[in-house]
Amino acid sequence: VNRPRARRGEGEHLRDEILEAGRRLLVETGDEDAVTIRAVAREVGVTPPAIYLHFEDKNALLLAVCRKTFEALDDQIEAAAAGIADPLEALRARGAAYARFGRENPEHYRILFMTRPFEHDELEPAEMTSGAFEHHLEAVQRACAAGALPPSTDPLLAAIFLWSGVHGITSLLIAKPKFPWPPIDELVDHVLRTLVEGLLSPGAA
């Protein structure tokens, strides 16, 4: 519970340490409720009131942790799809990256997509997602423009369909770890392919 005090201009440094400690607590305890002001302070090696120098309250702290995580998710998806020319392949790669992120960071995924929205979050709708959904929608639109999806396809509906499908398997794997799942990699791959098949069917307007 001892640590060097920051120099004059280095208040921001502690802010970063606090965020990182919040992230670490989430990962190590696997419990959103474990991220308390006091636990974070303990983790950083600082007294609880020091947190308030950098965050208005507990909610603001959690919100900041989430925003950081959203950026990481978006980055990983963009990186996975970069350089893939075929638009359907790109959609599958994006979905695979999304599912992988969820399985590698289950507690972050949980807080992003499986918990009740925060109380005072005017930023939920779009700002909060750091544009990840917009990027996804654009990828679907590119597939439509390339003629890779049926002409009757509504890009927004198709994008939501894919998102909810990938989210479905990702979140079930997290929520029901004891369910007798078949081999998980094959399962996720099968789901991704079958989802895209559904979009390709001319029956689904």
Rule CB under 8 A: which residues touch a copy of itself?
30-31, 33, 110, 113-117, 124-125, 156-157, 160-161, 163-169, 171-172, 175-182, 187, 190-191, 193-201, 203-204
Nearer to DNA among residue 40 and residue 173 (C-beta): 40
DSSP codes joined into one string, the chain: ---PPP-TTTHHHHHHHHHHHHHHHHHHH--GGG--HHHHHHHHTS-HHHHTTT-SSHHHHHHHHHHHHHHHHHHHHHHHHTT--SHHHHHHHHHHHHHHHHHHSHHHHHHHHTSPPPSS-TTTTTGGGTTHHHHHHHHHHHHHHTT-S-TT--HHHHHHHHHHHHHHHHHHHHH-TTS-PPPHHHHHHHHHHHHHHHHH-TT--
- Output 14 or 158, the one with its CB closest to a copy of itself: 158
Residue 147 near which of DNA, a copy of itself, none (CB within 5-8 Å, type-dependent): none
The CB-of-73 to DNA minimum distance in angstroms stands at 25
Q: Which two tokens stand for residue 121?
A: 């979050």
In the list DNA, a copy of itself, none, the entry touching 141 (Cβ below 5 to 8 angstroms by class) is none
Binding residues (CB under 7 A) for DNA: these are: 1, 3, 5-11, 14, 36-39, 46-53, 57-59
Interacting partner of 83 out of DNA, a copy of itself, none (Cβ under 5 to 8 A depending on kind): none
Q: Smallest distance from the beta carbon of 58 to DNA, in angstroms?
A: 4
The one of DNA, a copy of itself, none whose footprint includes residue 152, by CB under 5 to 8 A per kind, is none
**Minimal distance, residue 66 CB to a copy of itself, in Å:** 13
